[in-house]
């Protein structure tokens, strides 16, 4: 450092000192800070390491950030530079990643307006450029994934698609297969793409990626990532009316979200309760160890009451819960699928209501269940076609007639008797020789039917031997 530079530095210091000396209103606290500053200056030449420590100890003494703290930091930086200790300003990779992520999160929270959005995107672009210039692939991947999430939240699907394509290439080997060493990033990318296809209702691509993601074994992804994948898988199964598979996926999604501490677990638990009704299960969904702590959670009370009414076949209780808790339908996914549950509930109500009767008015059924007459007719038509009830609808009279079980039983018994007689006839007269004369009693073995007994008769009316028949005629056989 030249003499001129030293002179200028000392001049600056003297200027600060001069300004301080003219200030007669400083309190005793400032005097202590002043003394610490000058003590540190005295150590600069003899013990620069201790001087640095003294200078860095000045800012914490100030209640508010002020001039002396700034001067102390400036002197410490100069000494660090003079001693060549540049490496002390470096931080670990993990610390830098965490700091960058925190900055990005902070900026995203305040990006509501169009100008703020443009500023955030510019910030991301500059950050990514700096990572490319330093060949920091790990931070480049993480930041790009974070940017893709931001774009997905804003439903900018075209830009998200391009970003995901670049990310997939970065996580693949030269032959196009997934790089096992980047399995964790691959799972995050799959989760983002699956979310996008779930939102755009592209079930074909969603199913392909869902199955591919579940086959990844080279990484242990964060539970929240698996929660997202399983949740989207459950919604995919619901669109295919595969209720049982959807129930399994929603349970796994809830379990992963719960492990990750994500608030999305409550919403997915509602989906799990929805599928419990769709699979017509009588098992209490809160019997499992994972769901039991949430049984009394006020956020799911309405859905719990719906399941309870459904499993008790109480259509009126079900309708009351749905009427009083319209906020259930605020979730588009629940609103889309609750109609299927409601129809099943009303169908069960119709079957239970008409069970004791053979003839009834459709308007009476509608009044009892508090639904419209056309809906009653639609439900009854489904039950008749499906073979669940044996009856017919008279649309002109507006009535339903159920065939009596007693009449049906008698008709069935008569039919079975007719079949038995027909089978006997076939066996005796068509498949055998019929009745033969030797099968019946001869002259010596006539049967006495008196008194209901059957005994051989050996004589006449008073026990005398019977002679030959009159006029020489013998006993005539029954068949010749």
pLDDT in tens, 338-394: 999 999 999 999 998 998 888 899 999 999 998 999 999 999 999 998 888 888 888
Structural domain contains residue 7: yes
**What CA–CA distance (Å, rounded) separates 320 from 292?**
25
Residue 411 is predicted with a pLDDT of 63
pLDDT band at 456 (very low <50, low <70, confident <90, very high): very low
Residue 367 sits in a domain whose CATH number is 1.10.10.10
Mean pLDDT on 14-26? 44
For residue range 84-141, what is the model confidence (pLDDT) as tens digits? 766 655 666 677 777 777 777 777 776 666 677 777 878 888 888 777 766 778 888 8
Structural domain contains residue 397: yes
* Reported pTM: 0.64
Structural domain contains residue 399: yes
What's phi and psi for 402, nearest 5 deg? -105, 130
Q: How many domains does the chain have?
A: 2
Q: Which of 33, 58, 86 is the last residue of a domain?
A: 86
Q: Is 281 helix (H, G, I), strand (E, B) or coil?
A: coil
Residue 13 is predicted with a pLDDT of 44
Tell the residue number behind the tokens 């809906």, with chain if given. 375
Residue 36 is predicted with a pLDDT of 86
Nearest to 152 by CA among 102, 203, 199: 199
Residue 308 is predicted with a pLDDT of 93
Structural domain contains residue 82: yes
Close Cβ partners of 221 (under 8 Å, ≥ 6 residues apart): 183, 184, 187, 188
CB 222 within 8 A of CB 207: no
Structural domain contains residue 426: no
Mean pLDDT on 180-206? 92
Domain hosting residue 12, numbered range: 3-86
**What CA–CA distance (Å, rounded) separates 280 from 310?**
9
Structural domain contains residue 35: yes
CB 347 within 8 A of CB 378: no
Structural domain contains residue 387: yes
Quickly list H helices, 47-113.
48-56, 67-83, 93-109
**What CA–CA distance (Å, rounded) separates 148 from 164?**
7
What is the β-pairing status of strands 399-402 and 447-448? unpaired
**What CA–CA distance (Å, rounded) separates 276 from 265?**
16
Structural domain contains residue 142: no
Q: Which of 348, 381, 405 is the last residue of a domain?
A: 405
For residue range 308-339, what is the model confidence (pLDDT) as tens digits? 999 998 999 999 999 999 999 999 999 999 99
How many C-beta atoms lie closer than 10 Å to residue 311's C-beta?
A: 16
| 374, two tokens | 């056309």
């Amino acid at each position: 450092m030249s003499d001129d530079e030293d002179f200028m530095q000392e001049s600056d210091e003297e200027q600060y000192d001069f300004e301080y000396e003219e200030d007669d209103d400083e309190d005793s606290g400032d005097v202590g800070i002043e003394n610490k500053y000058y003590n540190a200056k005295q150590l600069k030449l003899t013990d620069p390491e201790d001087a640095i420590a003294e200078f860095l100890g000045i800012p914490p003494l100030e209640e508010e950030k002020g001039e002396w703290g700034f001067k102390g930091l400036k002197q410490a930086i100069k000494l660090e530079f003079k001693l060549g200790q540049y490496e002390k300003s470096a931080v670990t990779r993990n610390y830098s990643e965490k700091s960058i992520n925190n900055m990005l999160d902070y900026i995203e929270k305040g990006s509501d307006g169009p100008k703020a959005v443009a500023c955030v995107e510019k910030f991301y672009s500059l950050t990514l450029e700096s990572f490319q210039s330093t060949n920091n692939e790990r931070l480049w991947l993480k930041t790009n994934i974070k940017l893709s999430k931001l774009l997905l939240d804003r439903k900018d699907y075209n830009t998200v698609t391009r970003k995901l394509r670049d990310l997939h290439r970065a996580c693949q080997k030269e032959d196009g297969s997934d790089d096992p060493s980047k399995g964790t990033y691959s799972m995050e990318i799959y989760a983002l793409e699956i979310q996008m296809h779930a939102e755009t209702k592209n079930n074909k691509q969603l199913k392909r990626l869902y199955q591919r993601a579940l086959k990844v074994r080279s990484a242990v992804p964060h539970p929240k990532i698996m929660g997202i994948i399983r949740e989207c898988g459950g919604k995919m199964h619901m669109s295919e009316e595969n209720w049982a598979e959807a129930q399994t996926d929603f349970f796994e999604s809830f379990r992963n979200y719960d492990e990750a501490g994500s608030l999305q677990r409550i919403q997915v638990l509602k989906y799990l309760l929805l599928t419990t009704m769709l699979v017509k299960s009588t098992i209490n969904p809160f019997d499992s160890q994972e769901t039991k702590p949430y049984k009394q959670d006020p956020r799911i009370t309405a859905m719990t009451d719906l399941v309870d009414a459904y499993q008790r076949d109480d259509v009126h209780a079900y309708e009351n819960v749905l009427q009083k808790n319209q906020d259930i339908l605020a979730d588009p996914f629940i609103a889309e699928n609750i109609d299927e549950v409601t129809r099943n509930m009303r169908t069960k109500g119709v079957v239970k209501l008409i069970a004791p009767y053979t003839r009834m008015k459709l308007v009476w059924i509608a009044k009892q269940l508090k639904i419209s007459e056309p809906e009653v007719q639609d439900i009854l038509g489904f039950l008749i076609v499906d073979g669940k009830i044996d009856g017919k609808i008279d649309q002109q009279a507006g009535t339903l007639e159920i065939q009596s079980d007693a009449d049906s039983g008698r008709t069935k018994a008569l039919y079975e008797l007719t079949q038995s007689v027909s089978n006997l006839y076939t066996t005796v007269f068509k498949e055998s020789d019929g009745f033969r004369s030797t099968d019946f009693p001869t002259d010596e073995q006539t049967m006495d039917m008196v008194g209901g007994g059957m005994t051989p008769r050996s004589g006449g009316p008073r026990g005398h031997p019977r002679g030959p028949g009159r006029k020489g005629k013998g006993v005539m056989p029954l068949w010749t």
